[in-house]
Amino acid sequence: MQAVTSASSRIDAKRRAVLDPRKRQFAKSEWIDPDYEHRLNFYQTPPTKDISLEDFEEWAIARLKVLSELEACSFRNRTTEETSEYMRPVLEKWLRLDSNKSRSGELNAQRKKDHYSHWTLRLAFAGTGELRQRFAKLETQLFKLRLQSDYDDEKRDFIKGLKMSWEMVGSEEKATLLKDLKAATGFSQSRGDEEAWFKVDWESVPDLVSQRQVLLKRGKAYVHVREQLTMVQNAFTHSLDSGLELAARFLPRMDEDNRLAPILHHLGQSFVAPEANYSESNSLGDLAKVTAGDIDGMSKHFPLCMQNLHRELRKNSHLKHFGRLQYTLFLKGIGLSLQECQIFWRKAFKLIADDKFNSEYLYNIRHSYGDVGGDANKRGRGYTPFSCQKLLTEALPGPGQSHGCPYRSYTPDNLMTLLQAVGVNDREVLRGVKEDVGRQRYHIACNRVFEAAHKVELKKAKDESLLPSSNFDTILHPNEYFKRSFVLRNLGMVKKGDIGIDGPSQESASQ
Amino acid sequence: MPHAISPTSSPPEPVMDDTIMSNAPAQPLEDEVPLEPHSDAAMLDAEPSTVDTSSGKLEDIFDDDSDNDEFSSSVPTTVDSSQPALAPAAQEKSAFTDLSILKQFYQRLLPFRALFQWLNHSASPCADFQHREFAFTLQSDVYVRYQSFASADLFRKACVNTTPLRFEIGPQYTINPRDRKTVLKAGSFRPVMKELVFDIDMTDYDPIRTCCTGAKICHKCWQFIIMAIKVVDVALREDFGFQHVLWVYSGRRGAHAWVSDKRARTMDDAKRRAIANYLVLKQDEKKGIRRPLHPHLDRSLDLLNPHFTKDVLSVQDPWATAEQASKLLDLLPDKVLTTALQKKWDSAPNRSSAQKWADIDSVAENGNLSTMSPKQLVDTRQDIRLEYTYPRLDAEVSKKLNHLLKSPFVIHPGTGRVCVPIDVRRLEDFDPFAVPTVTQLLQEIDTWDAEARRQEMSEEEKSKVEDWQKTRLKPYVEYFRGYVAALLKDESRVKRERDEEAGAESMEF
């Protein structure tokens, strides 16, 4: 890397260098080398170092993945313990943050990544009020999670370093007020409460005042130290909210040069439904030979979007273009070969004459598989099957069309009818789906249905560690849905080792 | 000159023809001249009672005088007060809402200047007052909102001209409320500041008072309000550190509190809700109030215990009948104890509430019948005591920044009483039935004027005395002025400190 030059001599054309010596002495130094003392961060100073574009994007995507998983947890109403359990592997993978005790050499790099990715996402999500709110909520949850998992002494150091507006109650005052302090703040010896209180203006703790959990004297509230964590979290949210507002105001003035805009836009989209990296591993490959005749039987493993298309197809013996495209790519993804696919469509479009079919529909199937035409890059493999994000961000289907995500395109009532038609009858699940749809979290609704349908199998898989932990993440791709559904319903085969799932938990050398 | 003669008449005495004649436009001036040398005292003796026929004319004639504030004299009141004298109490009721009476009240009695300073927080008009909303309830039951005024005088003139039955005070907005429609952005017109208010209404006490219900009150149940004021006042001062708390009689059956501290005025809805919830006590049916008791509740209990013994147990006697007693038994969670008590009271009816109260302890002790531990029994008794004495606030009033509340010193249309401030230093002495009504006040003015004339006070001396000082309203207005003066002093001190700070900072550059 470049040698670090001293602050005074470094003048970067991009930054407005303050050259006037009279002002120079008051200007904040441009080149701050942040010293990440603590694992946690209030993100009050923006980063100033240079990083590469790839890092910029990568780190932001990693953080986004973490936040999306966190959001999924909250939507499925997991308790705090469940969430922290669930998030641990996710955090390990994407945003590892070791404590000071670990003496890892990577500490600075990890914290830098954390710091930068936060500020990148701030940029990406400062645009609209709704995004800001979501972001702030998720960041607070992440902060809370990290705070709870921190070591006590490190926590204390961090909080001390924050310079909040409270002061500890001195021993004299404590002695005089001890009885009242204990009575007011619900002190419980048995719970192991420390005999420590701090005082702060009552306006900072209105919730505690409302529940009479603090001692009030002439406008000062005496709060027990256990509430400190809540106050720190509230302070975090507060400072983040104001930071985001400021960012929103400065966004239009950003000195942009078309490098960041597409990245930020892409990040914004990922918030709708996170990126699902479709890879070959998502298809069953040679796990199960799928033929055209199997499709009807397999359709019970399909996610709602594909089941919907399948039903439409069977009903009308026809599908419009986008529906065909979506479905064909999906079928490719589950392992249907080109020949089988052609047979499938030919049989499905039974009302159409042979030559019409060949001239109008056959080419497209071959195109999707990459057999003819298409992009030179993708020749041989064809287009990738659409992920949930794609289905949720492209245009809504019009009359006579049934592609896209039905959780989005159907009205809630029609959606309920559809779900019941495919066999989802549990009132709880239906209600949960309605809620999710109301909040526009369509992929969460789909996941909910998946979990409800495979409850038994999922539990078994978890208990017996048959599947690697990544298999319990949120499903973001229809083919992923299918694969997991198929695997779960055929757990016998997994145990026997016939179906090998790539992952660390698989001991037997299968596949 | 004709005016010099007209004040000669006093309320009980009927109007003199001469004065009428002298003021009638058509009359030649010569008639007046011979009247002048007559002393005022001489005129007083004139008695031809031409009340009935002349009263109609008088009203017409003296209506013009209403603009002339300085000399708006007792003559018009002669007419008005003579009417109630003729008709019995039934007319008294409507008299309280009578236009001319209200007009007189607004012209002469209501201390607009003091009200203005109280809301303005300084002597010269600023946004605090000018952007303040007032809501008028007019004679025809019309409710007019978003009124604002640039100064105390304009406020007064508006009241005199429109004679509202009552007016309420709202928050201070970002801009003049009258201009609210002219802003482009809907968000730029919003409330920014208002005093913290509390409302204690006697109807909330209906479940526990035995002497009256609904709108009726008496001295016995007024004690509940006194208890409530005590508890809330000490909490506001001691716990929250508020220094400027004004308690106002609501005119019939309750009291309001206005907290004018700057810290309180600038609170948002969330903080107001916090204070309201802090003060409100909701009894948990099953578990009782959380123990150990919060120091505020402890302190309240200490303040209220003597009241419980005296005002509730002996005066109210809420558990005298068997039916009422069952309410008490419902509050005790122990079935064994309640059955034993029921038996005892069935066998000896007509035990007073105080005796029944003592029974709880004695039966529990003696028979070892209760399954509650002694501590639990003590706690339950405390809970019951709090249930019967703790303030019952209308929390909704306090929670919102933009809530409109009746102003001090308006007339209550139902009772005619002025909503006077309550002196908390002499809380126990406050008697809601001794609060003057508007008609009484107007009569007092006239009595004083008559007395002054009799004593031959000079015009100079007479003009030094303001109308409200001639009546029983005097102590209340003085108390209010004192309160406002203290508030202004505090405000200016704070402002000065802030200016000094700001000045010091700017010095550094």
> Which residues of chain B make contact with A206, given a CB cutoff of 8 A?
270-271, 273-274
**With contact defined as beta carbons under 8 Å apart, do A449 and A419 qualify?**
yes
What's the rounded Cα separation, in Å, for the pair B285 and A163?
Answer: 43
Q: Give the B-side interface with A, CB within 8 Å.
A: 238-242, 263, 267, 270-271, 273-275, 277-278, 290, 292-298
Q: Residue A356: exposed, middle, or buried by beta-carbon count in 10 A (0-12, 13-18, 19+)? A: exposed
Helices B474-508 and B112-120, axial angle in degrees (round to 10): 30
- ipTM field: 0.71
- Ramachandran quadrant class, A423 (left: phi over 0; alpha: psi -120 to 50; beta: rest): left
Average pLDDT of chain B is 79
Q: A53-160+235-270, what's its fold?
A: Transcription Elongation Factor S-II; Chain A (1.20.930)
What pLDDT, on a 0 to 100 scale, did the predictor assign at position A494?
Answer: 59
| Integer Cα distance of A259 and A254 in angstroms | 12
Give residue-wise pLDDT tens across range B416-473: 899 999 999 999 999 999 999 988 898 888 888 888 888 877 777 777 788 888 889 9
Query: In terms of pLDDT, which residue wins out, B368 or A318?
Result: A318
Kindly list the catalytic residues of B: 133, 199, 201
Across the interface, of A183, A209, A217, the residue whose CB is closest to B278 is A209
What pLDDT, in 10s, does the model give residues B246-274?
999 998 889 999 999 999 999 999 899 99
Q: Report the pLDDT value the prediction gives residue B368, as an integer from 0 to 100.
A: 62
CB count within 10 Å of CB A461 equals: 21
Q: How far apart are alpha carbons A380 and A427 in whole angstroms?
A: 46
* φ/ψ (deg, to 5) at A275: -60, 130
Q: Alpha carbon of A144 to those of A149, A213, A234, B226, B460: distances in Å? A: 9, 22, 10, 47, 75
> How far lies B326's CA from each of A305, B172, B318, B321, in Å?
64, 50, 11, 9
Q: Is the pLDDT of residue B404 over 80?
A: yes
* Rounded-to-integer distance, Cα B364 and Cα B371, Å: 9
Distance CA A150, CA A139 (A): 16
How many angstroms separate the CA atoms of B381 and B357, rounded?
9
Residue B334 Cα to chain centre, angstroms? 44
Predicted local confidence at residue A127, as pLDDT: 78
Judged by DSSP in three states, A405 sits in coil
d(CA B174, CA B194) in angstroms, rounded, equals 12
A96-152 pLDDT per residue, tens: 777 777 766 777 788 888 888 888 888 888 878 888 888 888 888 888 888 877 777
CA B500: distance to chain centroid? Answer: 38
Is the pLDDT at B498 greater than 80, yes or no? no
Q: In this predicted structure, what is the pLDDT of residue B235?
A: 94
Report how far residue B230's alpha carbon sits from residue B299's, in angstroms, rounded to the nearest whole number: 11
Q: Which residue has the tokens 């005082």?
A: A199
* Secondary structure (3-state) at B404: coil
Contact A351, A444 (CB under 8 A): no
For residue B138, give the 3-state DSSP assignment.
coil
- The Cβ of residue A459 has, within 10 Å, a number of other Cβ atoms equal to 10
Q: What is the pLDDT of residue B228?
A: 93
Nearest CB among B240, B263, B274 relative to A207 is that of B274
Q: What pLDDT does B50 receive? A: 39
Got the DSSP string for B20-50? HHHHSTTS-GGGHHHHTTS-HHHHHH-----
Binding residue ranges of A for [4Fe-4S] cluster: 305, 388, 405, 446
Contact residues on chain B for A182, CB-CB shorter than 8 A: 292
CA distance B57 to B51: 10
User: Nearest-5° angle of CA A225, CA B383, CA B221?
Assistant: 120
For the stretch B18-52, pLDDT in tens is 443 434 444 344 433 443 344 333 333 433 333 34
Asked if A219's CB is within 8 angstroms of B241's CB, the reply is yes
Where do the structural domains in chain A lie, given as residue ranges? 53-160+235-270, 167-226, 280-510
The residue to which tokens 């302090």 are assigned: A181
* DSSP H or E run through B137: strand B132-137
Choose among A186, A202, A218: nearest Cβ to B238. Answer: A218
- Evaluate whether B95 touches B416 at the Cβ level (below 8 Å): yes
Calpha distance B309→B300 (Å, rounded): 14
Is A184–B295 a contact, with Cβ atoms under 8 angstroms apart? yes
Chain A residues near residue B240 by CB distance under 8 angstroms:
202, 216, 218-219
- Pairwise CB contact (< 8 Å): B238 & A184: no
Mean pLDDT over B271-283 rounds to 90
- pLDDT of B230 reads 93
Strands B254-259 and B245-249: antiparallel
pLDDT in tens, B93-122: 456 678 888 898 999 899 999 999 999 998
The model carries a pTM of 0.64
Distance, in angstroms, between A48 CA and closest chain B CA?
29
For residue A375, the Cα-to-chain-centroid distance in whole angstroms is 31
Tell me: pLDDT of B74 over 80. no
Best B259, B269, B278, B398 member to test A by mutation, with max A CBs in 10 Å, is B278
Instruction: Please tell me whether residue B166 adopts helix, strand or coil conformation.
Output: strand
pLDDT of residue A26: 63
Are B116 and B144 in contact, with CB atoms under 8 Å apart?
A: no
- Token readout for A437 is 């749809």
pLDDT at B43: 38
- Is residue A452 within 8 A of residue A444, CB to CB? The reply is no
The C-alpha atoms of residue B370 and residue B378 are separated, in whole angstroms, by 12
- Among A186, A207, A217, the residue with its CB nearest the CB of B239 is A217
Residues annotated within the binding site of A are 305, 388, 405, 446
Distance of CA B131 to the CA centre of its chain: 24
Q: How far apart are the first and last CA of chain A?
A: 45
- Contact status, residue B133 vs residue B177, Cβ threshold 8 Å: yes
- 3-state secondary structure at position A477: coil
Are residues B433 and B252 in contact, defined by beta-carbon separation less than 8 angstroms?
no
Which of A197, A200, A207, A210 would best serve as a mutation to test chain B binding (most B beta carbons within 10 A)?
A: A210
State how beta strands B143-147 and B166-173 pair: unpaired
Cis-peptide into B292, omega within 30 deg: yes
Q: What is the pLDDT of residue A160?
A: 75
Residue A443's H or E segment, with its range, is: helix A442-453
- Answer yes or no: do A209 and B241 touch at CB < 8 A: no
A chain contacts of residue B241, beta-carbon cutoff 8 Å: 217-220
Whether chain B has a CB inside 8 Å of the CB on A374: the answer is no
- How many Cα atoms occupy the beta-carbon half-sphere of B341 within 13 Å? 30
Pull the structure tokens for residue A312. Answer: 């439409």
Token pair, residue B435, equals 């609060």
pLDDT digits (tens, 9 = 90+) for B184-201: 887 889 999 999 999 999
What single letter denotes the amino acid at residue B346? Answer: D
Rounded distance between C-alpha atoms, residue B497 and residue B507, angstroms? 15
Tokens of B312: 């509730």
| Residues in chain A where the model's pLDDT stays below 50 | 1-9, 280-282, 285-286, 500-511
Interface of A with B in 211-230 (CB under 8 A): 211-212, 215-220
Residue B345 contacts residue B322 (beta carbons within 8 Å): yes
Question: For the residues B231-238, what does the mean pLDDT come to?
Answer: 94
Q: Are A282 and A476 in contact (CB under 8 A)?
A: no
For A223, residues 6+ apart whose C-beta sits below 8 A from its C-beta are: A166, A185, A197, A198, A199, A200, A205, A208, A214, A231
CA distances from B177 to B131, B172, B195 (A): 6, 9, 18
User: Which residue is closest to B270 within chain A, CA to CA?
Assistant: A206
Cβ atoms of A21 and A82 closer than 8 Å = no
Which pLDDT value is given to residue B63? Answer: 42
